[in-house]
Amino acid sequence: MFTDAASYGCIVGTRASALSAQLCKWFNDGVSAGAKKEDTHMAAPGTAEQRHNAWKALEAHHAQVGTATLKEMFAQDPKRGKRMTLTAEGILLDYSKNRVNDETLKLLTGLAEAAGLKQSIEAMFNGEKINITENRAVLHVALRAPKDEVIEVDGHNVVPDVHEVLDKMAAFATRVRSGDWVGATGRRIKTVVNIGIGGSDLGPVMAYEALKHYTQRDLAFVFVSNVDGTDFVEGTLGLDPHETLFLIASKTFTTLETMTNAHSAREWFLKNTDGDEKAIAKHFVAISTNAKEVAKFGIDTANMFGFWDWVGGRYSMDSAIGLSTMIAVGPDQFKEMLEGFHAMDVHFRTAPLAQNMPVLMGLLSIWYTDYFDAQTVAILPYDQYLKRFPAYLQQLTMESNGKHVTLEGDHVGTETGPVYWGEPGTNGQHSFYQLIHQGTRLIPCDFIGFYKTLNPIGHHHDILMANVFAQTEALAFGKTAEQVKAEGTPDNLVPHRVFEGNRPSNTLLADTLTPRLLGSLIALYEHMVFTQGCVWNIDSFDQWGVELGKVLAQKIVGELDPTTTPDLKHDSSTNHLIQLYRQKKAANG
Ligand code: F6P
């Protein structure tokens, strides 16, 4: 029989003692690395001792309140549901269904202060090179800065550069949308194909889907990312090359997947037209920081939209990488999206930590990750237009904070980035919600919903939103054995039908999904990631973890040719798999 007490124990899963041991190591390392720390650009004002104490205070607090239930907390404070809300830039965050009390929030804010979050935010906005492993500034906030703002990198104001590219994008997007930009044979562009991967794909495709309601419907958009030829073949199936525009989106213009797809696009285009290379200029444009490689590929750099090394790939959807978005929704609505981003930037920079929405969300995720052993966070948008939002957030969160060493290069003393995943509601309810409600893991959830739908038909929207409210209520308060019994459930089935509850969630509500709102929502998560990275003392802006596999793949590609006899020097498993592939490939011809 499940009792409430037993059930809390099984999902609390505190890892306090492991954390304690790690913190001691971290503290000692921190003290010995003190001198080194001064050299970094993210030098925090909190000493290693203060940071250590802030973590320890939370640990002691967790030991006291970690088993408290949401049911108790709500019973103690009838105003909790209204009190624990925060509004910023049209987004309401209800964080009352989190396993926190006022003291928890105070201690979490103290942790952020000890980590030097305020100073780190300023360092980012001031163009300091806070991406220390690549010696780069981190300035996606400059991509949405108003024209008159001054943000300098190495003494150069980058804001005019940003607006010059935005103006060039706007002129081009307007021409494509109006039909003034025509293909080589004078025909209007009907399909835009964005070729890119990672940040050069996930942001554009997410934004296209999110803002579909606002798009020009006589233009079709296709997103090709995977090096699997199927993606390209299916994406271009039935397209008329004379009416197709390819946007080759790659910050580096060297990414294997994107360059392979770009070359296939070039071949496809030449094969299906009269093969005149001069026509390329009307059907291919590049979005990149690498003019040399763009020219080498054969795209006129006059048809290139640039950006800068201080824009990380996963933070680039509002740079030139967003050209497909701008063509789809038009320059004015793109501008509204940028204004939404900027408004949330200002909130993040100026709001006190305790009333700062991205900070609060970042700290709550740290509370669950480091004190409750939560390993994942579910992102559950109740809006079909946000169907690619969880996928977009996967890169943003996990490529940023999937790190195991501190800024000083020491092994971290705490857990870092959780796994982010999700699906739009209500689909997910009929798939994985079972585990969130009755499984043994604690999975904090972010529910995202809107007061007003863009497609009001029948009662759909009320039904959709009723599910948001029902799910967060069920997760928080569950259903006791007594309640189940009172419904006349046979004794043997009671344990199966008990909902432990006490499962935390955030609810984010906004009026309606507009370009501006989307910008604010994305910036909210960008800055939540920043908060996490700062508290964990890691570099959220590099991605060395993707390198090893890339290098090995480049080497192995050459070894798959059955007409050569390479001296395979991998482990026995990899050698065997390569041999099998070579044999099958030879047999298949
Ligand atoms: O996956 C690694 C990565 O470098 C991402 O950070 C980036 O968004 C993606 O590859 C694509 O890179 P590029 O825009 O240079 O082609």
Checking if the pLDDT of 14 tops 80, the result is no
543 touches ligand 1 (CB under 6 Å): yes
Q: What pLDDT band is residue 47 in, cutting at 50, 70 and 90?
A: confident
CA–CA gap between residue 491 and residue 485 (Å, rounded): 7
Longest dimension (CA), the chain: 78
Q: What pLDDT band is residue 589 in, cutting at 50, 70 and 90?
A: confident
Question: Atom 6 of ligand 1 has which residue's CA nearest to it?
Answer: 313
Read off the pLDDT of residues 485-498 as tens digits, 9 standing for 90 and up.
999 999 999 999 99
Checking if the pLDDT of 36 tops 90, the result is no
Which one of the listed residues 59, 399, 423, 500 is annotated catalytic? 399
Q: What pLDDT band is residue 28 in, cutting at 50, 70 and 90?
A: low
Buried b (16+ CB within 10 A) or exposed e, 152-175: ebeeeebbeebeebbebbbebbbe
| CA nearest neighbour of 224 among 209, 205, 211 | 205
Read off the pLDDT of residues 414-439 as tens digits, 9 standing for 90 and up.
999 999 999 999 999 999 999 999 99
**pTM of the predicted model as reported, rounded to 2 decimal places:** 0.93
Q: What pLDDT band is residue 40 in, cutting at 50, 70 and 90?
A: very low
Q: What pLDDT band is residue 355 in, cutting at 50, 70 and 90?
A: very high
Using CB atoms within 10 A of its CB, is residue 254 exposed (0-12), middle (13-18) or buried (19+)? exposed
What is the atom index within ligand 1 of the atom nearest the CA of 316? 8
Read off the pLDDT of residues 293-309 as tens digits, 9 standing for 90 and up.
999 999 999 999 999 99
User: Measured in angstroms, how far is the CA atom of residue 404 from the centroid of ligand 1?
Assistant: 20
Count Cβ atoms below 10 Å from residue 345 Cβ, excluding itself. 26
Which amino acid, residue 169?
M
| CA nearest neighbour of 445 among 475, 477, 480 | 475
Which one of the listed residues 79, 147, 278, 430 is annotated catalytic? 430
453 touches ligand 1 (CB under 6 Å): no
Read off the pLDDT of residues 170-226 as tens digits, 9 standing for 90 and up.
999 999 999 999 999 999 999 999 999 999 999 999 999 999 999 999 999 999 999
Residue 275 structure tokens: 């093969």
Count Cβ atoms below 10 Å from residue 451 Cβ, excluding itself. 11
From start to end of 57-97, where are the E strands? 85-88, 91-94
| CA nearest neighbour of 454 among 240, 218, 214 | 214
Strands 85-88 and 91-94: antiparallel
Q: What is the pLDDT of residue 302?
A: 93
422 phi, psi to nearest 5 deg:
160, 175
What is the atom index within ligand 1 of the atom nearest the CA of 255? 16
Mean of per-residue pLDDT scores for the chain: 93
Q: What pLDDT band is residue 23 in, cutting at 50, 70 and 90?
A: low
Location of structure tokens 């509204």: 336
427 phi, psi to nearest 5 deg:
-55, -45
Strands 505-510 and 91-94: antiparallel
Count Cβ atoms below 10 Å from residue 380 Cβ, excluding itself. 29
CA–CA gap between residue 163 and residue 142 (Å, rounded): 10
Mean per-residue pLDDT, 507-535: 98
Q: What is the pLDDT of residue 467?
A: 98
Q: What percent of the chain has pLDDT over 90?
A: 91
Location of structure tokens 């300035």: 139
Contact predicate 410/29, CB 8 Å: yes
62: Cβ contacts below 8 Å, ≥ 6 apart: 14, 16, 371, 372
User: Measured in angstroms, how far is the CA atom of residue 261 from the centroid of ligand 1?
Assistant: 14
**Active site annotation includes 296:** no
394 touches ligand 1 (CB under 6 Å): no
Distance from the first to the final alpha carbon of the chain: 62
What is the atom index within ligand 1 of the atom nearest the CA of 252? 15
486: Cβ contacts below 8 Å, ≥ 6 apart: none
Mean per-residue pLDDT, 366-394: 98
Mean per-residue pLDDT, 316-331: 98
Using CB atoms within 10 A of its CB, is residue 244 exposed (0-12), middle (13-18) or buried (19+)? buried
* Ligand 1 probe mutation, 255, 292, 308, most atoms within 8 A of CB: 255
User: Measured in angstroms, how far is the CA atom of residue 483 from the centroid of ligand 1?
Assistant: 52
Read off the pLDDT of residues 467-485 as tens digits, 9 standing for 90 and up.
999 999 999 999 999 999 9
